[in-house]
Structure 1
Amino acid sequence: METQRTPVEKDLEDLTDDEALFAELEKDDDHFLSSLREQRLQAIQQEFTRRKVMEESQHGLLTEIESEKEFMDTTLKEKYMVGHFYHSDFRRCKIMDQHLQTLANDYMDTRFVKISVENAPFLVEKLQIQVLPCVIGWVDGYIKTKLVGFDELGNTDGFSTQRLASQFSQAGVIRKKEAATAQGKKSIFQSGNADSEDDEDDY
């Protein structure tokens, strides 16, 4: 014959069951949190490693290039590159530098560089640079966008970094992921829109 439990005994038994259930849940939570923590640490480590490698190659920074040859070599070597032609006496060039440095930090896959027009007479002539600041974006060595002054940025000194980013993004110069490599011979003076290598250079 089954012994009838008193209300107190029943409550004690239910409490024991609840404690066991909570213990199991806490164990599951600890396992879940531990797994989540491990995944997060791995992601942070991977991002840290990626940024370290990129920074060693001077990605993530707006770096100055002194010679035209190095500038052209860098343009051909980098998949994505933004180059700022500037003059140290021009206030708007300094404004542009601030925005480019911010973007360099946000878009690590793109190399951001600048060169003084005084150090680049051949490029200034070849690219027909007449108004400063002049910022050109290349993908696989081909010109994708050319921003002259602040005309395409609202013609105001107070334009936002996001507006500048939008210009580069539409041209495919800044991206989070690698794009397919363009076919054909590289030329830092030629547009990537051309279907033939025999097309005229795009300035």
Structure 2
Amino acid sequence: MSSSKSSVAALAARLTQPGPSASKRADDDGSDLDDEELFAQLEAEIENDSDIALRERGLEKIKRDMEALKQMRQSGHGRYDEIIDEKEVVRISANEPRCVIHFYHSNFKRCEIMDKHLGSLAPKYFNTRFLRVFVENVPWLVEKLGVKVLPCVVCFIDGVSKDRLIGFEDLGNKDYFETATLEWRLMNSGVIQKEQKCDSGVTYGVSSSVRQNIRGQPVDDDFDFDLDD
């Protein structure tokens, strides 16, 4: 690959990589560049390339990829958000391909612990939505899903409740566990995918001891629900 094509590939990767925010990205020399500056560099590289096909197709594809990622960021991907409106929670869980919802109460210490770990995973698994909902704000969902023990983390895939974590039973049943333990458990459910990466490059290693601590298996909780207007 020529140096020009290598430069184009590197710039394109930086522009289209998933992440919680693309407003600033570190350049090779440590400086910060926003998307517009990076795109200007990429455009110049492509315009100077001798490959006609690259010039014709390259920018359009990058623009489409950037727009898709922009829309995902605007809809909350890469963040761990609290949703107050119950119908909005239902809408998100029904329409997102993958969604993790933490049902919490402010009086429960273990809910705070779960928040910390989910907040760490949200920017890493950009294609999965991560939400937290206060149980008193979503009484219909609490009853419909049978949420009785907190914290309760429900995993939705294509609008269907596929799995759930009840308390810390599947996490060693102790307050101090690695983020990797929760990550491995969610990965087993299919709600997060291993090949996804965040722009920080952080990877949580999962040791054999962590795997042994995860005692629960995904439950057959195929529960599809809609909320009538």
TM-score (norm 2): 0.61
Instruction: Work out the percentage of aligned pairs sharing the same amino acid.
Output: 42
Counterpart of 1:42 in structure 2 is: 12
* d(CA) in 1 for partners of 2:167, 2:193: 23
Structure 2 residue 189 is the aligned partner of structure 1 residue 171: yes
Q: Equivalent of 2:164, from 132, 141, 146?
A: 146
Q: Equivalent of 2:136, from 112, 118, 121?
A: 118
* d(CA) in 2 for partners of 1:37, 1:169: 34
Kindly report the root-mean-square deviation, in angstroms, between the aligned alpha carbons of the 2 structures.
2.3
Shift of 1:34: 4.1
Shift of 1:38: 2.5
* d(CA) in 2 for partners of 1:53, 1:142: 23
Which one is further off, 46-55 or 135-144? 46-55
Unaligned 5+ runs, structure 2? 23-65, 197-219, 225-229
* d(CA) in 1 for partners of 2:4, 2:106: 53
SS of residue in 2 equivalent to 1:168: helix
Unaligned 5+ runs, structure 1? 1-30, 179-189, 198-203
For residues 147-176 of structure 1, what are the alpha-carbon distances to aligned partners after superposition, in whole Å with 9 as ceiling and x for unaligned? 011110001111111111111111110125
Shift of 1:61: 0.6
Contact 1:65/1:115 (8 A) holds in 2: yes
* d(CA) in 1 for partners of 2:90, 2:73: 20
Q: Compared with structure 1, are the counterparts of its residues 91 and 51 closer, same or farther at alpha carbon in structure 2 (3 Å cutoff)?
A: farther
Shift of 1:32: 4.1
Pairs within 5 Å for 1:3-152: 32-47=2-17, 48=22, 49=66, 51-152=69-170
For residues 36-79 of structure 1, what are the alpha-carbon distances to aligned partners after superposition, in whole Å with 9 as ceiling and x for unaligned? 23311111112253653321110111111112211111111111
Shift of 1:113: 0.7
Aligned-partner residue type, residue 141 of structure 1: G
SS of residue in 1 equivalent to 2:147: coil
Contact 1:51/1:108 (8 A) holds in 2: no
How many residue pairs match? The answer is 153
SS of residue in 2 equivalent to 1:76: helix
Which one is further off, 71-80 or 40-49? 40-49
Contact 1:109/1:176 (8 A) holds in 2: no
SS of residue in 1 equivalent to 2:123: helix
Aligned-partner residue type, residue 38 of structure 1: V
For residues 5-60 of structure 1, what are the alpha-carbon distances to aligned partners after superposition, in whole Å with 9 as ceiling and x for unaligned? xxxxxxxxxxxxxxxxxxxxxxxxxx844432331111111225365332111011
* d(CA) in 1 for partners of 2:86, 2:193: 26
Q: Compared with structure 1, are the counterparts of its residues 77 and 159 closer, same or farther at alpha carbon in structure 2 (3 Å cutoff)?
A: same
Counterpart of 1:6 in structure 2 is: none
Contact 1:80/1:139 (8 A) holds in 2: yes
For residues 133-155 of structure 1, what are the alpha-carbon distances to aligned partners after superposition, in whole Å with 9 as ceiling and x for unaligned? 00000101111111011110001
